[in-house]
Amino acid sequence: MKIALACDHGGLNLKNAVIEYLKENGYDFVDYGTNSTDSCDYPDFALPAAEAVAEKKCDRGIIICSTGIGVSIVANKVPGVRCAHCHDSYCAEFTRRHNDANVLAMGEKVVGTGYALKIVETFLNTQFEGGRHQRRVDKITEIEKKYCK
């Protein structure tokens, strides 16, 4: 599984911890930045990561800012991306099982590193259930087709 990673300056420390987790667990990843604590604009980094997932260059994405909110808004503007802003492993599990979310957004100032890595683990290891949930994901895709022209 190949993971697209991105953060702004407010998520750099957590992104670096996620990188270590991915390396330790044998995941392939692409880091779309930032790699600095200098102030920057989160859309400049979240967008390329989300596009990589939508274009199937990466299987999943993990994007981080101070709260996770800004990067999730950006990612969800990209057709084909279903980004879930998660602050606990229960949400990470069920967004994969029921929504087939393909991008995880987190906030470095909201979730401690240890628990954030548990959220990442859950997100990466939980499979989509399909079935009745596929019908709902298909409806999301139809909404995208209607409004994302």
Residue numbers annotated as active site: 65, 98
Whether residue 103 contacts residue 123, with contact meaning beta carbons closer than 8 Å, is answered with no
**Buried/exposed code over 15-41 (b: 16+ C-beta within 10 A; e: otherwise):** bbbbbebbeeeebebebbbbeeeeebe
Whole-angstrom Cα distance, residue 25 to residue 18? 10
Q: Which residue, among 103, 105, 108, 96, has the nearest Cα to 78 in the 3D structure? A: 103
Per the listing, tokens 């996620």 go with: 18
Rounded-to-integer distance, Cα 34 and Cα 15, Å: 9
CA distances from 52 to 17, 63, 115, 122, 145 (A): 21, 12, 26, 21, 19
